[in-house]
Amino acid sequence: MHRADYVIKRVFFALMTVFVAVTINFLLFRALPGSAVANFSRAPHASPELKATLTHEFGLDQPLWKQYVLYLNQLVFHGNMGVSFADNQPVTGELAGKLGNTIGMVTVGTVLAIVIGVITGFVSAWRRSGAVDAVSTNTAIVFYALPTQFIGMMLIFLFAKYLPTAGMRNEVNNFFSGGNTWSSITDVASHMLLPALTLALTLFGEYTLVVRSSMLETLGEDYVLTARAKGLPQRRIVISHALRNAMLPIATLVALSLGFIVAGAILVEIVFSWPGIGQAVYEAVATRDYPMLQGAFLILTLSVVFFNFIADLIYFKLDPRITE
C-alpha cells in the first residue's frame, strides 16, 4: 500500500506543478510592458484602426481572466496552444518541427556528456589522489565554469575551416544531390557535430563531479571495507560493490537532466543558428509573441515535470526506504 500511496502522491504533485507553472507562464509574459500589437503598429503605414483590429484578433481586448479561461479551455480540451502573433500560424505545428530539431541535437550532446562524465568520474574515484584524478577533476571544473557561448565560439574558431558552423542543412548541396537520403543524413550530422559537442563539453563536468563524489562516498562505507578485508580484488570491489550502490544519485541526476533535453540549449542554438525551440524562444521574446512563448515553456514544463516523476520512481526503485 505504501508503494501505491507514494505513486499517487507523486502524480498529484506533478499535476499541481504543471497547473501552477501554466498559470505563472500565462501571467508572466502579460506583466511585461508593451505587446506584440504595439510592435506591429509602429510600421510606417499603421493606423489606429489597424491596431484596434489586431488587438481584437489576438483577443488582447478581453479581460485578463477571460483570456486565461479561454487559454486553458483550448489547451486542455483541444490541445491548442494558440496562434503565433508573428506569422499567424498555429503554435503547435510550428513547435512540433522545431522540437524534433532540438531533441536530435540535444540528445546527442547530453548522451555524450553522460558517457564522458560517468567514465571520467568513475576513473577519477578509482585513481583518487593521483595524477589521473587531478587532471580529470580540474578539467571537469574548468569546462563546468566556462560559459556555453564561449565554448561554442572557441569551437567555431578552431573548426570553422572543417565543419559547418551555422544552420542545420546546406540547401545548395541538398539541391544538387537531388534529396539523396544518405547525403541529407551526413549533411545534418556534420551541422549537428559542433553544437552537440558544445553542449557535451558544457554538461559533462557536473556528471564527472557527481559520479566521483558518489563513488568516493560509497568506497568509504563499511561493506566496502569488509570486502577489502576479505581480500576481494580491487576491480571487483569497485565495480560490483561501489559502483552499483553509487548509482542512486547518478540515476537521479541523469533522469533530471533528461528533462531539459526538450528545452534545448538556447545559447547553443543561437550561436550556431540551430532551428530549434531555443531559437524560437529567442525570436519570440524579441517580438513579444506570447502564444509561442507559452507553448515553448509549456513543453519545457511538461518535460521537466515528467522526468522529475521518472526520477522519483527510479529513486524509489533503487531505495524503497524513502516511503518509510
| pLDDT score for 1 | 47
Quote the pTM value: 0.75
Where is 180: in which H helix or E strand?
none
Every domain of the chain and the residues it spans: 90-318
Q: How confident is the model at residue 174 (pLDDT cuts 50, 70, 90)?
A: low
| 63 pLDDT above the threshold of 60 | yes
Burial class (CB in 10 A: 0-12, 13-18, 19+), 324: exposed
Stronger pLDDT, 32 or 245, i.e. the higher one = 245
| pLDDT tens sequence across 210-226 | 888 888 888 777 777 78
pLDDT for res 38 = 61
pLDDT tier, 146 (very low <50, low <70, confident <90, very high otherwise) = confident
Span 75-104, mean pLDDT?
79
d(CA 185, CA 165): 16
237-281 pLDDT, tens digit each: 777 777 777 777 777 777 777 776 666 678 888 888 888 888 888
Candidates 1.10.3720.10, 3.30.70.1230, 1.10.1660.10, 2.70.150.10; correct CATH number of 90-318?
A: 1.10.3720.10
pLDDT for 300 beyond 50: yes
pLDDT in tens, 178-205: 556 777 778 888 888 999 999 899 888 8
What pLDDT is attached to residue 99? 82
